[in-house]
Structure 1
């Protein structure tokens, strides 16, 4: 009986005194906006998905209207949206507008992750 107590007691103490490695993750709803009409959107097809760009914001069409989405990385666009800023990251020149980074490419700009 004493040997069981000698083994069980330290195990119980260790299990109660150690902290858990579990973390709490809060999932928040996505901040998407659905609008019914776009003014003069540019249509860009990328990986079989039709994206609409208007005013530097990217949309995908659904049955209720146009839903805002993150800019698709790798898409090539001919022109930058109005209001872009020139940003240098680690010596590389990027163009930023509404949180989207563009990099100069042949005959246009490519959306990249920075």
Structure 2
């Protein structure tokens, strides 16, 4: 009788230990699965928050104001680049405000001392037909026709030379642009328009940052 009772108590104790062991293993397994789920969720959140976003970037430095006095501008070359030829074949003659222009191959010239000197037409100059190979440039609500460093806008049936708005972006300058220094910083100039070299979507570009005012 005593042996049977002791055996019963032993089995009861053994069953309790087995149940406790199973419960402990179950709890550890649950904790491990919860930790694994939390880590996977955290990795997923990190992956989603570090997703690369592609956007247009423009790297800039401090720029001058819109109108810059020519007295504040220093040209890196002691003399301006001068492009001149002895003859302009098949030239077209255009008169504007008492000045005679000779046009051919996307260039304007003035005649002086037996040579034709390349010049940029002044603001207000008008033509009826745009030079060849022009490009359309849009900035905010402005639409320009750009060719060889000159900006045109359409006015009725003509095209008028104008100064572009600050912030206008182009992707090439004429070959005879000039480098200038203003307050220790280098810019690019053509036809009194100041440009700053920038990067747009990884591509080199030039942004209009000001106009040189010619002092009388």
| Interval of TM-score (by shorter of Structure 1 and Structure 2) | 0.7 to 0.9
Cα 1:36–1:26 shift into 2, 3 Å: closer
Instruction: Work out the CA distance in 1 between the residues paired with 2:145 and 2:161.
Output: 9
Q: Does 1:96 align with 2:157?
A: no
Tell me which of the two structures has the higher relative contact order, counting C-alpha pairs closer than 8 angstroms and 6 or more residues apart: 2
Give the secondary structure class of the aligned counterpart of 2:129: coil
Gaps of 5+ in 2: 1-71, 165-216
Q: 1:105 aligns with which of 148, 155, 176?
A: 155
Decide whether the 8 Å contact of 1:84 with 1:96 is kept in 2.
yes
CA distance in 2 between counterparts of 1:97 and 1:35 reads 21
Shift in alpha-carbon separation, 1:25–1:100, aligned structure 2, 3 A = closer
Q: Measure the CA separation in 1 of the matches of 2:73 and 2:138.
A: 36
Cα-Cα RMSD: 1.9
- 2:97 is matched with 47
CA pair 24-35 structure 1, distance change in 2 beyond 3 A: closer
In the alignment, the residues of structure 2 paired with residue 41 and residue 60 of structure 1 have an alpha-carbon distance, to the nearest angstrom, of 11
User: 1:54 offset after TM fit, Å?
Assistant: 1.1
Partner in structure 2 of residue 83 of structure 1: 133
CA distance in 2, matches of 1:24, 1:31: 16
TM-score using structure 2 length: 0.40
2:90 and 2:73 map into 1 onto residues whose CA distance is 44
- For structure 1, the 5+ residue unaligned runs are 1-22
The equivalent of 2:110 in structure 1 is 60
* Pair 61,90 (structure 1): closer, same or farther in 2 beyond 3 Å: same
Give the conservation status (yes or no) of the 8 Å contact 1:34–1:64.
no
TM-score, normalised to structure 1, is: 0.73
* Alignment size in residue pairs: 92
